Amino acid sequence: MGALEHLVRHRPAAGLRRESPDVSSEDVVLTGTHVRLEPLARDHVPGLVAAAAEDPLLYRWTPLPFDVDGMTRYVDTAVRWREERTALPFATLRLSDGKVIGSTRFFLIERWDWPAGHPQAGREGPDACEIGYTWLAASAVRTAANTEAKVLMLKHAFERWHVHRVCFHTDMRNERSRAALARIGAVFEGTLRAHRLASDLIPRDSARFSIIASEWSGVRQRLEQRLAA
C-alpha cells in the first residue's frame, strides 16, 4: 500500500465509530441555491480528478490523490465507510453548470450509551459527528459554494439528527482552513498533539474546532446573512 493510499484509507478510532443504522440507510441529497451534495460514487471520479487538477498546490495539507486510480480508491474507501454505517460521504456539485467541484463527508458518527429510562435513550439520530475530508476545486474556494455546503451539512446535523456537537479538525499548519472554520463560527477548542498522520507523513498536530447545539441558531443566522450578502 502506498503512502497516499494509506492516508486516504485512514479510519477513525474504533471507540468512536459506533454504528448508526438510521444514518447509513439515508439516501441523503442536500440541495441549496449554489451547490448540491449527493452521495459519493465512482461516477464522480473523473470530475473529482479534474477538480483537484485545477491547482494541486492548494492541497498541501490535504491527503488527496490526483490520478484516476488513486481517486477511485479514495471514493471506494468512503463508500465502504458508508456501507459500514460510519460515514456519509458526498460529492459537491455546482448547480450553475453541474460540475463536480469537490467532496466532503460526515464521519466519526457517534451514538452515546444513554442509560435506559433517560429521555435521550430513545433518540433516533446520532449524538455527535465530525465534518471533514472537505476540499474544493480552486475555482470554488472563497465562493458561496463553501459556505452553503457547510450550512446544508450543519442544518442536517442539528435539525434532522439533532446532534449535540459537530466538530472539525485541521492540520495546525493549515492557516487557510483554520481561518475558514473560524469564519463559519466554529469555536477553537485547542490543539491535539500528534493527532493524525499528516499529508507529509509526520504525526500532525490538529486544531480542533466545534459547534454545539446551543450555538447553532446564531451560527446559522450569520452564515445565512453571509450567503444573502
In the chain, domain spans: 3-228
Q: Are strands 128-136 and 35-39 parallel, antiparallel or unpaired?
A: unpaired
Determine the Cα–Cα distance for residues 85 and 102; give it in Å rounded to an integer. Answer: 22
Q: Report pLDDT for 4.
A: 41
| pLDDT score recorded for residue 8 | 40
pLDDT digits (tens, 9 = 90+) for 17-49: 444 445 655 689 999 999 999 999 999 999 999
User: What is the distance between the alpha carbons of residues 125 and 190, in angstroms, rounded to a whole number?
Assistant: 27
Judged on CB neighbours under 10 Å (0-12, 13-18, 19+), 205 is middle
The domain made up of 3-228 is a member of CATH 3.40.630.30: yes
Give strand pairing partners of 169. 208
Segment holding 146, helix H or strand E: helix 144-155
* Structure-derived torsion over alpha carbons of residues 112, 128, 74, 82, reported in degrees to the nearest 10: 60
- What residues in the chain have per-residue pLDDT under 70? 1-26
Give the tens place of pLDDT for each residue, 199-215. 889 999 999 999 999 99
Cell for 143?
465562493
- Side-chain-facing half-sphere of 215: CA atoms under 13 Å: 15
